[in-house]
């Protein structure tokens, strides 16, 4: 696809939507479908969001130029992250090859910190393992993972010669059978196939020690064994597991030790359809504030309503995908969090007033600790996003807009 053509369409849409009208937020949209087909409402909202961002970048650029300043993010240098299945085969292959390259580069994490870190790819896994209990269900969750994905994309580009951008997994698109999608069908352009089928029960989530709640039983997928097809067949997982699933013994040194084993997955439609269909995505975009958005996205604490965030993590399932701590060790993590970031970006753009780029909320997910347990202050824009050995650190305020700070990207 030609960038100019894309931009042309976006700009036309921007003009058409100059007086964009916000959807009603107090009623659920008429949607009698099962959530397995996209609705016009959803498509309209996504187009509105795109138009808003292009408008905003254009206006900001003009204002800066008027003041004699040089804008950093312009319509010309804005880049787009795309849906995995919309990439050409050669684009998918270059993404896959860049991941393999990262998995073959030496780690920056000292052995004394994590003897299990064997590659640059593993540096990212270590950082996530170390901070899991402070970067989920807390005010830093969304900004932290935005910076995390961006730095991973940057490593693929700067250290492994990748010339594309981070693709995303449009969850509802393949909800009936994600294992057959371009992401996971096991062909040379996929992120590897499903795990081999072994009859099994679905996962049981056991809350980490020190936080409340009981066990949650989830539907089983269509795999659960080793991944034996596609580019990541026979991939070796070095770190973890840490914990979070019943019947999983932690690896050495709390998951930071060396624990080589094969990649397992348990993809299937049951969990994907239940937790991440088009109705879910529409519902996310219609939420009026960040506290409500996060309850839809991340789920109601300690209930089976685990939201699309958890729902898709457990749709990937297996090892390390099913382990909250070690999940970035499955290449599928990154396309999932690409979509998490995409939807947050879209929702931010629909806010018009602009406070969605500064408001971190005040609900139970807005504090510095996991679901405010133990009690802690609200997260602040000045709080540090620590990337450990994986990448440079920043602050929350720096990453609130994907067209501000160091960023200049958006989603198609």
Q: Which residues bind ligand NAG (CB under 6 A)?
A: 34-35, 56, 204, 206, 214-215, 246-247, 273-274, 277, 279-280, 283, 352, 354, 357, 401, 403-404
Q: Per DSSP, what are the bridge partners of residue 80?
A: 410
**CB-based contact 364:346 (threshold 8 Å):** no
Query: Which phi and psi angles does 184 have, rounded to 5°?
Result: -130, 15
Query: What are phi and psi for residue 395, nearest 5 degrees?
Result: -120, 165
Give me the least distance between CB of 53 and ligand NAG, in Å please: 8
CA-based nearest residue to 53, from 87, 82, 79: 79
- State which residue, 109 or 403, has the beta carbon closest to ligand NAG: 403
Strand pairing partners for 195?
227
- Spell out the residues 6+ positions from residue 354 whose beta carbon is closer than 8 angstroms to its own: none
| Cβ at position 231, least distance to ligand NAG in Å | 30
Nearest CA to 237 out of 255, 213, 215, 224 is that of 255
DSSP 175: T
Q: How many CB atoms lie within 10 A of CB 18?
A: 8
| Cβ-based nearer residue to ligand NAG, 283 or 294 | 283
- Cβ 354 to ligand NAG shortest distance, Å: 2
Q: Which is nearer to ligand NAG, 53 or 387 (CB)?
A: 53
* Nearer to ligand NAG (CB atom), residue 247 or residue 375: 247
Which of 183, 136, 154, 198 shows the shortest CA–CA distance to 340? 136
* Residue number closest to ligand NAG, CB atom: 354
CB of 298 to ligand NAG, least distance (A): 13
What is the closest distance, in whole angstroms, from the C-beta atom of residue 146 to ligand NAG in the complex? 13
3 state SS of 367: strand
The rounded distance, in Å, linking the Cα atoms of 368 and 382 is 12
- Closer to ligand NAG by CB, 59 or 159: give it: 59
Whichever of 35 and 241 has its CB closer to ligand NAG, that residue is: 35
**In angstroms, what is the minimal distance from the CB of 9 to ligand NAG?**
21
Nearer to ligand NAG, 187 or 305 (CB): 305
Q: Give the shortest CB-359-to-ligand NAG separation in angstroms.
A: 11
Largest Cα–Cα distance in the chain? Answer: 66
Compute φ and ψ for 319, nearest 5 degrees. Answer: -140, 120
42 by DSSP, 3-state: which? helix
Distance between CA atoms of residues 383 and 399, nearest Å: 11
Closest separation in Å from C-beta 23 to ligand NAG: 16
Radius of gyration of the chain (CA): 20
Nearer to ligand NAG, 307 or 388 (CB): 307
């Amino acid at each position: 696809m030609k960038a100019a053509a894309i931009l042309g369409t976006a700009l036309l849409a921007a003009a058409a939507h100059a007086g964009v009208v916000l959807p009603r937020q107090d009623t659920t949209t008429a949607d009698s479908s099962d959530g397995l087909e996209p609705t016009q409402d959803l498509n309209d909202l996504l187009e509105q969001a795109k138009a808003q961002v292009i408008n905003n970048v254009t206006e900001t650029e003009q204002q800066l130029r008027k003041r004699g300043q040089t804008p950093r993010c312009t319509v010309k240098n804005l880049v787009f992250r795309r849906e995995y299945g919309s990439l050409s085969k050669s684009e998918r292959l270059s993404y896959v090859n860049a991941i393999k390259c990262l998995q073959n580069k030496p780690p920056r994490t000292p052995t004394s910190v994590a003897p299990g870190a064997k590659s640059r790819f593993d540096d990212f896994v270590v950082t996530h393992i170390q901070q899991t209990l402070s970067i989920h269900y807390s005010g830093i969750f969304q900004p932290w993972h935005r910076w995390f994905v961006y730095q991973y994309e940057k490593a693929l580009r700067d250290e492994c010669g990748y010339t594309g951008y981070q693709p995303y997994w449009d969850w509802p698109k393949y909800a009936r059978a994600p294992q057959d999608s371009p992401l996971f069908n096991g062909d040379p352009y996929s992120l590897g196939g499903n795990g081999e089928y072994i009859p099994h029960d679905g996962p049981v989530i056991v809350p980490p020690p020190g936080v409340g709640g009981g066990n949650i039983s989830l539907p089983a997928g269509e795999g659960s064994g080793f991944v034996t097809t596609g580019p990541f067949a026979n991939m070796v997982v070095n770190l973890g597991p840490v914990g979070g699933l019943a019947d999983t013994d932690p690896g050495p040194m709390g998951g930071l030790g060396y624990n080589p084993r094969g990649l397992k997955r348990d993809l299937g439609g049951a969990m994907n359809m239940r937790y991440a269909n088009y109705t879910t995505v529409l519902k996310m975009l219609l939420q009026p504030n960040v506290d409500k958005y996060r309850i839809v996205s991340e789920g109601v604490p300690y209930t089976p309503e685990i939201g699309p965030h958890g729902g898709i993590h457990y749709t990937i399932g297996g090892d390390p995908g099913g382990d909250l701590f070690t999940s970035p060790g499955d290449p599928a993590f990154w396309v999932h969090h690409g979509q998490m970031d995409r939807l947050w970006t879209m929702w931010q753009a629909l806010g018009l007033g602009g406070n969605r780029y500064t408001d971190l909320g005040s609900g139970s997910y807005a504090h510095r600790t996991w679901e405010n347990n133990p009690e802690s202050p609200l997260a602040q824009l000045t709080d540090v996003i620590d990337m450990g050995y994986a990448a440079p650190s920043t602050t929350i305020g720096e990453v609130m807009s994907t067209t501000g700070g160091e960023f200049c990207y958006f989603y198609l």
